[in-house]
């Protein structure tokens, strides 16, 4: 049984898109006192969670993608 090369290429492209990630800008989170600390593997402000928005729900999408202002935002001094 042979696999059509065009079909394989399409499947490979789809698979690579599933695992590709784009980190949210989370601009306001980067200067907020409630943002999580950075670790070796993550940027805390870009995390879906913070000291206010905890698991399992996390931050609203609008906050992560700079589409809305966070009602809990407090600037770091």
Domain spans, the chain: 23-77
Residue 39 confidence (pLDDT): 85
Position 20 pLDDT exceeds 70:
no
Q: CB–CB of 61/25 below 8 Å?
A: no
* Both structure tokens of 74: 């407090």
Specify the higher pLDDT residue, 30 or 45.
Answer: 30
d(CA 47, CA 22): 12
Look over the chain and give the mean of its residue pLDDT values, rounded to a whole number: 85
Residues contacting residue 28 through CB under 8 Å, at least 6 positions apart? 63, 66, 69, 70, 73
Residue 13 confidence (pLDDT): 72
Binning pLDDT at 50, 70 and 90, where does residue 69 land?
A: very high
Residue 18 confidence (pLDDT): 56
């Amino acid at each position: 049984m042979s696999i059509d090369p065009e079909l394989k290429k399409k499947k490979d492209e789809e698979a690579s898109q599933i695992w590709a990630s784009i980190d949210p800008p989370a601009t306001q989170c980067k200067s907020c006192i409630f943002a999580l600390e950075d670790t070796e593997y993550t940027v805390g402000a870009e995390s879906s969670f913070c000291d206010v928005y905890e698991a399992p729900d996390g931050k609203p999408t609008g906050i992560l993608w700079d589409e809305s202002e966070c009602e809990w935002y407090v600037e770091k001094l």
